[in-house]
Amino acid sequence: LVALRYLDLSHTNIEGLPACLQDLKTLIHLNLECMRRLGSIAGISKLSSLRTLGLRNSNIMLDVMSVKELHLLEHLEILTIDIVSTMVLEQMIDAGTLMNCMQEVSIRCLIYDQEQDTKLRLPTMDSLRSLTMWNCEISEIEIERLTWNTNPTSPCFFNLSQVIIHVCSSLKDLTWLLFAPNITYLMIEQLEQLQELISHAKATGVTEEEQQQLHKIIPFQKLQILHLSSLPELKSIYWISLSFPCLSGIYVERCPKLRKLPLDSKTGTVGKK
């Protein structure tokens, strides 16, 4: 088995990785997703050829040492992962190479100390396709951009297609979605303070150069499904009408202050004759 290149242990009841796993020097794909009894990935840095690693929906509680091991995987290209610690999240953001590898991420149960800044600052994540956030004490999501590219078709989350956010009660807007132009599925539920999906003030209260770039961005052009539920303060999705050309389903419930949807005559026209 020393020449093994692909190994899928997902949905098994294994409690610990066997020691012999470290001998698989040619292993490039390892799937440990949905391993509800797996408690540790200690020694995974020995898999020096690993390119794809799946850790989503497993029982692994990543700690500082686990992140250090992941950082040693020099050839890693694709990572799916759950993050449940502010310390681990900050460590992974600092280790920028790991953020660039993330394809599917679930961030949940983040609790901040009183003296901590509750803003989540995400770097550019070119590989990210799916982002789930659940029960996090985050007041705002900001995007770290080194420069404003003159080409607005080069956003921070070009490949991000699915966003699900549940029970993040301090978020008041999700303006960062402007930088994810290819979202196809968007579900927002139980955000008690959410007032605007895209904040008009934040999107226009920037420098003149940034405004010129933002005016070139038309959000939600690939969106197919929009699900908004239990958002008692939501008043606006966007401040002007949008085409939503790919929209096939929109579900709105328990959003008493949302009086108008920003749809125009071109909504849902893609694929129709």
pLDDT attached to residue 209: 61
pLDDT attached to residue 123: 87
Query: Which of 69, 122, 77, 121 has the alpha carbon at shortest distance from 97?
Result: 77
Inter-residue contact 112 to 86 (CB < 8 Å):
yes
Cα–Cα dist 148/234, whole Å: 29
pLDDT at 91 over 60: yes
Cα–Cα dist 87/116, whole Å: 11
Beta strand ranges found along 75-184 (DSSP E): 78-83, 102-108, 119-122, 130-134, 140-143, 162-166
Q: What is the pTM of this model?
A: 0.89
Reading the block at residue 8, the tokens are 């899928």
pLDDT attached to residue 13: 94
Q: Which residue has the tokens 């993050």?
A: 83
State pLDDT tens for residues 44-73: 999 999 999 999 999 888 888 999 999 999
pLDDT at 211 over 80: no
**Amino acid identity, position 52:** T
pLDDT at 240 over 70: yes
- What is the CB neighbour count within 10 angstroms for residue 51? 17
Reading the block at residue 36, the tokens are 């509800």
Q: Which helix (H) or strand (E) holds 92?
A: helix 86-94
Q: Which residue has the tokens 């549940």?
A: 166
Confidence of residue 114 (pLDDT cuts 50, 70, 90): confident
Confidence of residue 146 (pLDDT cuts 50, 70, 90): very low
pLDDT at 117 over 50: yes
Cα–Cα dist 103/116, whole Å: 27
pLDDT at 177 over 80: yes
Query: In the chain, what are the domains?
Result: 1-108 (3.80.10.10), 112-273 (no CATH)
Confidence of residue 108 (pLDDT cuts 50, 70, 90): very high
Confidence of residue 96 (pLDDT cuts 50, 70, 90): confident
**Cα 166 to the center of its chain, rounded Å:** 13
pLDDT at 215 over 80: no
Reading the block at residue 67, the tokens are 């992140």
State pLDDT tens for residues 217-237: 889 999 999 999 999 999 999
Average pLDDT over residues 12-30: 92
State pLDDT tens for residues 253-271: 999 999 988 887 566 666 5
Inter-residue contact 167 to 189 (CB < 8 Å):
yes
Average pLDDT over residues 19-46: 93
Average pLDDT over residues 67-95: 92
Cα–Cα dist 117/129, whole Å: 27
State pLDDT tens for residues 184-193: 999 999 999 9
* Proportion of the chain above pLDDT 70, given as a percent: 88
